[in-house]
Amino acid sequence: GAVVSQHPSRVICKSGTSVKIECRSLDFQATTMFWYRQFPKQSLMLMATSNEGSKATYEQGVEKDKFLINHASLTLSTLTVTSAHPEDSSFYICSARGGFSSTEAFFGQGTRLTVV
Amino acid sequence: GQNIDQPTEMTATEGAIVQINCTYQTSGFNGLFWYQQHAGEAPTFLSYNVLDGLEEKGRFSSFLSRSKGYSYLLLKELQMKDSASYLCAVRRDSNYQLIWGAGTKLIIKP
């Protein structure tokens, strides 16, 4: 199957700083990428959907000025958590669709963010 | 509203068979996915059903009944490595956005 690489896998940052998470499709062009957040023992919550070259569509309740998403190319999308606070600590996962697959979206490995 | 229900936790014995159910109520339906997720890792794709019936893939099978808003994932010959959470997700339309169930934590005992 197609490979989606997410980096970093773990990050610890101080409260008030910003963190950038990268999501890359390694062997296909991702026309659409999704960003999820998952709290312990809970399901994946969609944060936003981004299409290459256009602004991301955010889900209700997600602050677009706090979670900046850039999908500048067909192989890279980034999520920047700005002015991070401890409540932003979570598992962030990206997924991408495109290429030869007509059904599934492929997931990155996830990023465990801890804000101290 | 959108609603996907799965049992929170199930326990089964190594070598046995287990069925994980998923019921959904969504405004639109364009396929149902099952994913496996180990703790601290991203989900991995198991199956996709868009038509009624049973899809078999090795030890795993998935069933769908659109009229009943119901699916199940059947795991045979359980192995310890099958201990994980199993997530049911529904795609409502041609967009690839998924609505996720909370997941079923499956515990395999020797």
Q: What is the pLDDT of residue A27?
A: 83
Q: Out of B31, B42, B100, whose CB is closest to A107? A: B42
Q: What is the pLDDT of residue A65?
A: 94
Cis bond upstream, residue A8 (ω within 30): yes
Cβ distance of A107 and B44 shorter than 8 Å? yes
Could you report how far apart the first and last alpha carbons of chain B are, in Å? Answer: 40
Residues of A in contact with B106 (CB under 8 A): none
pLDDT digits (tens, 9 = 90+) for B81-102: 999 999 999 988 766 778 899 9
Q: How far does B16 lie from chain A, in Å, by closest CA? A: 25
Mean pLDDT in residue range A51-69:
90
Q: What is the pLDDT of residue B70?
A: 97
Whether the per-residue pLDDT at B25 is higher than 90: the answer is yes
Whether the per-residue pLDDT at A41 is higher than 80: the answer is no
How many H-runs (helices) and E-runs (strands) does chain A carry?
A: 0, 11
Cβ distance of B41 and A109 shorter than 8 Å? yes
Q: What is the pLDDT of residue A37?
A: 94
Residue of A87 and A40 predicted with greater confidence:
A87
Percent above pLDDT 90 for chain B = 76
Chain B interface, best mutation among A4, A39, A44, by max B CB count within 10 A: A44
pLDDT digits (tens, 9 = 90+) for A67-91: 999 988 889 999 999 999 999 999 9
Q: Which burial class, exposed, middle or buried, applies to B110 when counting CB atoms under 10 A from its CB (0-12, 13-18, 19+)? A: exposed
Q: Out of B42, B96, B102, whose CB is closest to A110? A: B42
- What does the block give as tokens for A78? 């980034």
Q: How far does A13 lie from chain B, in Å, by closest CA? A: 19
Chain B interface, best mutation among A43, A45, A89, by max B CB count within 10 A: A43
